[in-house]
Amino acid sequence: MEDELVKQNLRDRLYVWYVQQGQQLSQIHPSDAKRLCDSVEQSLHVIDGNVHSLQAGVNELREAKHSHTDTLQHRFTYVDVVL
């Protein structure tokens, strides 16, 4: 239950941020908007790379039968679902 509340809170905060960014983009010059969108896209690629790296790390730990693999997998799955 607590996980669901945390997920919903994060989704709500992301939605508010998304709406605010959309409002700001509608008030700026198109070339500035493109530059900002390119920056966001670049940041998303970095985040995607980090998520894949985390998944690879968790998989390596699972293969080595690390004692905390289940906890790490649960945390990673939570991050993957939220994003």
Neighbours of 58 (CB within 10 A): 20
Q: Is the model's pTM score more than 0.85?
A: no
Q: Encode pLDDT of 8-27 as tens digits.
A: 787 888 888 888 887 776 77
* Domains held by the chain: number: 1
Question: What confidence tens digit (pLDDT) does each residue in 14-68 have?
Answer: 888 888 887 776 777 888 888 988 998 999 889 888 888 887 877 777 777 766 6
Alpha helices (H) in the chain, listed in sequence order: 2-25, 30-63, 69-82
Domain residues for the domain of 16 are 2-82
